[in-house]
Structure 1
């Protein structure tokens, strides 16, 4: 099969008939063998009934329904598990992504031998409450990941099948799939300017909580990707640094007192100086961080997947 189109959705019953008809038209015109996987993320409207009706009209359409709302990342992860195409395209169900972009995305994945192409909605029709947080996330993600993409959160993306069968998406991490793919060893990542259309049906699902959750997930991805198999390098380094600073401060307080005694000058007891207590806190925190790294290292070394590595080829 050439292409799998994975569409996560929540309360999008009005847009589904138009979206699937549009995708079908593009596929037929380009002679692609395809499937459309519609993942209903616990919708409370008629979305599932519409999916069942569309399935009767077009056998290329497949539906998956969650019992409750789990989020876009969960919907994508389940859709990825079901996808059978050589190239997997993801897009939102609200008709803001254009299926006309699919042929060029497919061509570039195949001809340029790319792992992933992320869409870039250069001209957007979203409100400022959505575009401003998005710009902040994109800037922070570029800085932390080293991936030069302008729009990490664009729903329209294309993947080589190996990528989506290897990575796992959860939490709010769908917005950072390029980062997850890079940490998994898929570094051939490109960007393509795509059309962004104004919402035709329904309302946006964007909320302020996603701003906070997305930032926390970015920190999680960065930490796990960089230190997941060597946590002692992170906790141990911080612990040693904190312990060293504490020891330097405590020695300074003790030496200062001794110098004043030798000179016959007035001095304060060590326990009367705030710096002494700061040094104790630094030493205790450093010890705890070191122990945290040691315990994390033990857990990592005894984890069943400790020696599981992604092997691309064997000869």
Structure 2
């Protein structure tokens, strides 16, 4: 199979038929063998009913329905697990991503040998204050943190080699950082393509300030995981050891000064009245706890099995 199109969605009943017709037209005109996988992330409108009707009329349409709303990352992970195409294309269901970009994205993966190609919505039709400016800030921070020179991490229109989506595990809110996750797994041929962005035709945006804030928190998480995710002892163990050594030598100094004053008949104060005693004690306790955290992190990492954090309620044509 040439292409798998993976489309996560939430309450997009108005756009699904038009989106599928557009994808089918592009695929057929380019003679692609394809499948379209819709992942209904707990919609409470008629989205699943429409997907069901599409799957009954078109065998290339596949459907996954979640028990409830789990999030875009979980929806993408479910779609990636089911995808069979040599090239996997992801796009949003709101018609803001153009299926006309698919042939060129496919060419960049198959002929130009990119592992991943990320779309760049250079000209956007979103609200400048609530989305464009936060998006620019977010992308700047993501570039500085990850080392990947991409202009639009959050663009839903991306293309992947099949082996990339089968290797990368997406959870939480990490869908924005799939290029970073792919890079961490050794897929270094990551490209970017300017893609057409269209104004939203139906429904309302799912973007809010909570997603903006969560995006930066996830950025910190992915930065830490990329450096220490497979070796937590290198972080916790190092800081734990340094803090314990600091506390130990501080305590040793307090004890030595106490003995010196006693030996030389110099007036002394109780050790517990010396603030350095508590600093030393706290440092040794924190150092021990950090070291144990690193040790436990190593055990968890070594025994981790990637569990799914979502529940599928129903599947179609899969």
TM-score interval (norm. to shorter): 0.7 to 0.9
1:221 paired residue number: 222
CA distance in 2, matches of 1:130, 1:274: 50
Q: Is residue 2:201 matched to residue 1:200?
A: yes
CA displacement, residues 5-42 of structure 1 (integer Å, 9 cap, x when unaligned): 11111110111111111111111222212111111111
State how 1:161-200 maps to structure 2 within 5 Å: 161-200=162-201
Alignment of structure 1 residues 274-293 onto 2, 5 Å:
274-293=275-294
1:302–1:82 CA distance, 2 compared to 1 (3 A): closer
Unaligned runs of 5+ in 1: 306-315
SS at match of 1:80: helix
Deviations along 1:210-246, one digit per CA (max 9) or x if unpaired, are: 2343334334433344333322211110101212332
Task: Tell me which of the two structures has the higher relative contact order, counting C-alpha pairs closer than 8 angstroms and 6 or more residues apart.
Answer: 2
Partner of residue 115, structure 2:
115
Question: In 1, distance between residues paired with 2:276 and 2:209?
Answer: 41
Deviation at 1:256, TM superposition (A): 6.7
Q: Which moved more, 1:55-64 or 1:76-85?
A: 55-64
What is the aligned-residue RMSD (CA, Å)?
2.6
Q: TM-score, normalised by structure 2?
A: 0.86
Query: Alpha carbons of 1:248 and 1:130: their partners in 2 closer, same or farther (altered >3 Å)?
Result: farther
SS in 1 for 2:88: strand
Q: Deviations over 1:152-208 (max 9, x none)?
A: 111000000111111111111111111111112211111111111111100011133
The worse-fitting range, judged by mean Cα deviation, of 208-217 and 253-262 is 253-262
Match of 2:95? Answer: 95
SS of equivalent to 2:206: coil
Q: How does 1:79-158 map to 2 (within 5 A)?
A: 79-127=79-127, 128-158=129-159
- Residue 89 (structure 1) shift: 0.5
Distance 1:302 1:61, change over 3 A: closer
1:261 and 1:67 mapped to 2: Cα distance?
72
Distance 1:164 1:194 in 2: 21
Shifted more, 119-128 versus 256-265: the winner is 256-265
Query: How many pairs are equivalent?
Result: 305
When residues 300 and 15 of structure 1 are mapped into structure 2, their CA distance, relative to the original with a 3 A threshold, is closer
The TM-score with structure 1 as length reference comes to 0.87
CA 1:132 to 1:273, structure 2 compared with 1: closer, same or farther past 3 Å?
farther
Match of 2:64 in 1: 64
Structure 2 CA distance for aligned equivalents of residues 93 and 60 of structure 1? 17
How far residue 57 of structure 1 moved from its aligned partner, in angstroms, is 3.9
Shift of the 77–298 alpha-carbon distance from structure 1 to 2, 3 Å rule, reads closer
1:259–1:149: structure 2 CA closer, same or farther, 3 Å change rule? farther
The aligned counterpart of 1:237 is 238
Partner Cα separation in structure 2 for residue 301 and residue 248 of structure 1: 34
